[in-house]
């Protein structure tokens, strides 16, 4: 397929492009940063010389530029946007992400592109950036209420609502919103980030390794999954175990310490290093499971 990857210069974007090239796809990379302005941290992520890759320096906040960049593509993977709340201006992340996402979705519809995968976030339900946290039940799955109270999580929830609106008007389009957790290069990486236990507890010690996240995006636009689902679907994309920490506590001890009053779904209990998320929907409809 000919796949447009917006936000191709970001950490996840580069992993997605690399994985797609390895599968033999033709890639249109779209970003406003510029390839030289955002060099990869790892040499193996440099794919600029690959003849199957073409780069477009595009301001994705401009709709006409987006249409021009996506023209002729078979699928779109939307990763462009602000990756977290702005510390300096509370409107930047919200406004940027909402405009970018709608531009990508609407441009795809205008051009007749039927397969779209977009980056949402676990923060759409109200996670680490929220001022308060109300987890209704463990494990967390797609039925959990969405209650963000900050700009980033709200922007991701709105991007999901935009996808709902798009497929109501264009029912032949298939959109996957992937709620990724903290994306990290390796499973060992987060062990150094444990100085704030309350913060790690607020995001339920979750993560997704970057290559595993990239694989989820490619599965979400794969023609092989056309018969599995249609319209707009939301998927949690999180590792099945808690991330590495200096504290040698298992999941049951972490729950007892931080979330003793949150009920567990019947038949489920925290065990070993098992995580607090249920990604069985992604396994069932996409064929994705964190490796």
The token pair at 156 is 């991701």
pLDDT at 42: 61
Q: How many CB atoms lie within 10 A of CB 131?
A: 7
Please give the mean pLDDT across all residues of the chain.
91
Mean pLDDT across 52-67: 96
pLDDT at 198: 84
Topology adopted by domain 2-187+209-241+276-286: Rossmann fold (3.40.50)
pLDDT for 3-18, tens place per residue?
999 999 998 999 999 9
- What's the pTM value of the predicted model, to 2 decimals? 0.94
- For residues 275 and 196, which has the higher predicted lDDT (pLDDT)? 275
Mean pLDDT across 123-144: 95
* Spatial CA neighbour of 146 closest among 171, 164, 172, 167: 164
Asked if residue 186 has pLDDT above 80, the reply is no
Asked if residue 96 has pLDDT above 90, the reply is yes
Mean pLDDT across 144-171: 97
Asked if residue 80 has pLDDT above 80, the reply is yes
pLDDT at 47: 80
Asked if residue 35 lies in contact with residue 55, where contact means CB atoms within 8 angstroms, the answer is: yes
The C-alpha angle 195, 199, 203, rounded to 5 degrees, equals: 130
Asked if residue 265 has pLDDT above 90, the reply is yes
């Amino acid at each position: 397929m000919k796949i447009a990857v917006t936000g191709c210069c970001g950490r996840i974007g580069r992993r997605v492009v690399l994985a797609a090239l390895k599968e033999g796809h033709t890639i249109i990379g779209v970003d406003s940063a510029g390839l030289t302005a955002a060099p990869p941290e790892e040499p193996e992520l440099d794919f600029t010389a690959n003849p199957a890759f073409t780069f477009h320096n595009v301001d994705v906040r401009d709709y006409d530029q987006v249409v021009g960049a996506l023209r002729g593509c078979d699928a779109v993977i939307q990763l462009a946007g602000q990756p977290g709340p702005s510390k300096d201006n509370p409107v930047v992340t919200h406004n940027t992400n909402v405009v970018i996402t709608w531009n990508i979705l609407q441009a795809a519809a205008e051009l007749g592109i039927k397969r779209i995968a977009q980056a949402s976030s676990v923060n759409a339900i109200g996670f680490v950036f929220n001022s308060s946290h109300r987890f209704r039940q463990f494990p967390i799955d797609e039925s959990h209420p969405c209650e963000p109270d900050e700009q980033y999580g709200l922007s991701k929830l709105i991007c999901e609502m935009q996808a709902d609106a798009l497929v109501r008007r264009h029912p032949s389009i298939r959109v996957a919103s992937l709620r990724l957790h903290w994306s990290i290069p390796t499973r060992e990486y987060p062990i150094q980030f444990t100085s704030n236990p309350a913060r790690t507890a607020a995001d339920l010690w979750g993560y997704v390794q970057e290559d595993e996240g990239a694989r989820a995006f490619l599965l979400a636009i794969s023609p092989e999954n056309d018969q599995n689902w249609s319209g707009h679907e939301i998927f949690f994309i999180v590792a099945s175990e808690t991330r590495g920490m200096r504290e040698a506590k298992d999941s049951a001890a972490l729950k007892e310490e931080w979330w003793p009053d949150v009920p567990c779904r019947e038949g489920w209990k925290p065990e070993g290093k098992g995580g607090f998320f249920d990604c069985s929907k992604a396994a069932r409809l996409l064929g994705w499971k964190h490796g």
